[in-house]
């Protein structure tokens, strides 16, 4: 692929100036349209060292309103970034709808280096490409325009540019040991780059190869591609508003796809005596405190997810879970409706931001599963979006596991009668009235619709790496004890 590029291509200065003047005006206009249509844009620049990424990015920026873009120079990850999943530092930099994010080097660099340095560990770097493809597909499905440029120069041209940079003290800061390493391994890297381009070139996130030995030619090619891609993307309709009736839109036939209702298998009569509860709870909390220290020493990140019916007891379980933990090593993340900024991003964006560092514990009081529960039942997203979310969520959770993390998921299950009793208790108790809202009563009216959604969620997102634990929660003490036992058992193995 790279060998077929004609690196001798050049363009005359007068032709360049004429064409570029037109393209700059057009790109500025398209940026304003993208803002109005809330189109997010991601532009990735990869290429050989000294291929001119900085100059060409700067050339592109001359046409853009600086209030509408961000540029990220992605060097080696910091210690903070290394303590989190591989793709997190890119997720948190994704643009809001209507903005442009430009990456000077990207998620490809680490995987490409692993490919050359650790060639024998084929499974590891192939896994990296799989994660990248999932990431790009997810943001493209959200409606993000993804453009990827690889700037190509020959080995001889690279050597010449290194030599010229070395003559000027003002340029020496741009030369790193890794650049010389890349030149020494140019041929090996060339093979790895070819493979990278083949494995990650898709219609939703295509590569554009840029002959970069002549800067004018390269700049004009990049401008042409960006302008053309923006024009095409802006002609397509963005995600349309949901026009279906909310509760009635739950697919009544979905249960026919399942062998049986998972929720029906829960024995809600399970109880535990007060004495046994107290004794076992104390012992489990002490062990959990010691496990917290062990996980911190081993740099194991832990994510614990609580989902369940309104008034099922999530808060009480979380309090017992954290009662004896060191507060410096865990955080509770309460999840409500997304705010204005969060709505302008991919729905998973706000959760990636909250994932814990290695050695820490993040406890989610509700989570990303709102996509296939509340948003599905209430009609806040389209059917194709929540159906796609099962696969997206499984991919995200697999990436957490591949980063060495522990993921524990609970569904707290109660029956309608128990929920009604708890609602009435909250309503009658002045100290608990803050816990009950009109929305809780509205959700209760859609019990069957939510039940179908929960059953399908449990069926489609309980995986080997991230299984669901169904907690029989009519008895609060039984539920709290089961949660503690499950967490302790899971963490003992790490």
Instruction: Tell me if 73 sits within 8 A of 267, measured CB to CB.
Output: no
Neighbouring-strand partners of residue 42: 101, 146
Residue 137: per-residue pLDDT: 97
Residue 249: per-residue pLDDT: 40
Instruction: Tell me if 118 sits within 8 A of 125, measured CB to CB.
Output: yes
Q: Mention every residue, 6+ apart, whose C-beta is less than 8 A from residue 22.
A: none
The DSSP result for 126-172, as a single string, is HHHHHHHHHHHHHHHHTT-EEEEEEEE--HHHHHHHHHHHHH-GGGG
Residue 180: per-residue pLDDT: 82
Closest CA to 208 of 44, 21, 75: 44
Residue 256: per-residue pLDDT: 47
CA 195, 389, 438 angle in degrees (round to 5)? 155
Instruction: Tell me if 108 sits within 8 A of 207, measured CB to CB.
Output: no
Whole-number average pLDDT of the chain: 91
| Domains of the chain and CATH, by start | 13-235 (3.40.50.300), 247-492 (3.40.50.300)
Residue 370: per-residue pLDDT: 97
Residue 252: per-residue pLDDT: 43
Strand 145-152 versus strand 41-47 pairing type? parallel
- Which residues of the chain have a pLDDT value below 70? 118-124, 169-175, 238-260
Instruction: Tell me if 483 sits within 8 A of 410, measured CB to CB.
Output: yes
Helix (H) or strand (E) holding 44: strand 41-47
Residue 389: per-residue pLDDT: 98
Give me the percent of the chain exceeding a pLDDT of 90: 78
């Amino acid at each position: 692929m790279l060998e077929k590029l004609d690196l001798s291509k050049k363009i005359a200065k007068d032709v360049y100036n004429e064409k570029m003047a037109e393209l700059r005006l057009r790109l500025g206009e398209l940026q304003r349209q993208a803002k109005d249509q809330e189109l997010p844009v991601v532009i990735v620049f990869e290429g050989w060292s000294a291929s001119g990424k900085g100059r060409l990015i700067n050339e592109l920026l001359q046409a853009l309103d600086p209030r509408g873009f961000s540029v990220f120079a992605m060097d080696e990850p910091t210690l903070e970034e290394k303590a989190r999943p591989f793709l997190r530092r890119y997720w948190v930099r994704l643009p809001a709808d209507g903005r442009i994010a430009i990456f000077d080097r990207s998620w490809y660099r680490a995987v490409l280096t692993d490919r050359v340095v650790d060639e024998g560990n084929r499974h590891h770097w192939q896994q990296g490409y799989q994660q990248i493809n999932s990431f790009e597909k997810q943001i493209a499905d959200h409606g993000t325009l993804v453009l990827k440029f690889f700037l190509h120069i020959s080995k001889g041209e690279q050597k010449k540019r290194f030599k010229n940079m070395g003559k000027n003290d003002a340029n020496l800061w741009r030369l790193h040991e890794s650049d010389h390493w890349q030149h020494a391994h140019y041929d090996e890297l060339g093979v790895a780059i070819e493979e990278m381009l083949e494995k990650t070139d898709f219609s939703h996130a295509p590569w554009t190869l840029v002959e970069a030995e002549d800067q004018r030619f390269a700049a004009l090619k990049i401008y042409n591609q960006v302008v053309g891609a923006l024009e095409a993307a802006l002609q397509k309709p963005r995600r349309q508003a949901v026009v279906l009736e909310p509760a009635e839109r739950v697919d009544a036939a979905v249960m026919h796809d399942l062998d049986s209702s998972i929720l029906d298998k829960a024995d809600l009569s399970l109880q535990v005596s007060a004495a046994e509860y107290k004794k076992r709870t104390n012992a489990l909390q002490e062990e959990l405190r010691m496990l917290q220290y062990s996980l911190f020493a081993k740099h194991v990140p832990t994510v614990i997810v609580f989902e369940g019916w309104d008034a099922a007891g999530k808060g009480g379980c979380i309090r017992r879970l954290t009662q004896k933990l060191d507060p410096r090593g865990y955080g509770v993340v309460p999840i409500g409706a997304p705010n204005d900024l969060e709505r302008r991003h991919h729905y998973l964006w706000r959760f990636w931001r909250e994932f814990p560092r290695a050695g820490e514990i993040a406890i989610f009081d509700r989570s990303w599963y709102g996509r296939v529960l509340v948003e599905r039942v209430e009609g806040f997203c389209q059917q194709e979006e929540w159906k796609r979310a099962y696969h997206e969520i499984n991919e995200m959770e697999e990436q957490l596991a591949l980063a060495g993390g522990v993921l524990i998921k609970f569904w707290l299950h109660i029956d309608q009668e128990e929920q009604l009793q708890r609602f009435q208790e909250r309503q009658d108790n002045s100290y608990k009235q803050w816990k009950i809202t009109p929305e809780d009563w509205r959700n209760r009216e859609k019990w069957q619709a939510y039940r179908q959604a929960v059953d399908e969620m449990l069926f489609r997102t309980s995986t080997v790496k991230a299984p669901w634990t169904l907690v029989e929660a009519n008895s609060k003490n039984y539920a709290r004890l089961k949660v503690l036992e499950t967490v302790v058992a899971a963490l003992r193995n790490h």
